[in-house]
Amino acid sequence: MLLQHEGSVLRVFPDWPKKMDASFTPLRAKGVFLVSSEQRQGLVTKIEISSEKGGTLEIQSPWGDYPIQVAGIASSLKPNSEGRVLLVTGAGKTYRLLPFK
């Protein structure tokens, strides 16, 4: 499975073998979000989210408890104790999430 959006939580590659590289370009998630992502050598390299109408999206971090960098935003997102972050989006905006380095 490449994308799952159940129980209000978005997950990328939730059941995809770590040994298999994969990527997908826009798949629709609940709440009018379009999601693309890539996994290489067992690691998710990026998540790109386009929000068609705006709203808050809860994301299970594929990077554990490490902060998440959102391209174009100075501050990082910090996962909560369940490893999830909240991304507040604007209508028509695209967000690129990367592991914070």
Which CATH number fits the domain that encloses residue 18?
Answer: 2.60.40.1180
pTM (2 d.p.)? 0.93
Owning domain of residue 69: 3-99
Give the total number of structural domains in the chain: 1
pLDDT over 70 for what percent of the chain?
A: 99
Task: Kindly tell me the burial class for residue 62, based on how many C-beta atoms sit within 10 Å of its own C-beta (0-12, 13-18, 19 or more).
Answer: buried
Question: Could you tell me the sign of the dihedral formed by the alpha carbons of 89, 95, 97, 101, in that order?
Answer: negative
Write out pLDDT tens, residues 13-38: 999 999 999 999 999 999 899 999 99
pLDDT > 70? residue 101: no
pLDDT > 70? residue 42: yes
List the structure tokens of 83: 């490893």
Distance, CA of 32 to CA of 65 (rounded, Å): 27
User: Which residues have CB under 8 Å from 81's CB, separation 6+?
Assistant: none
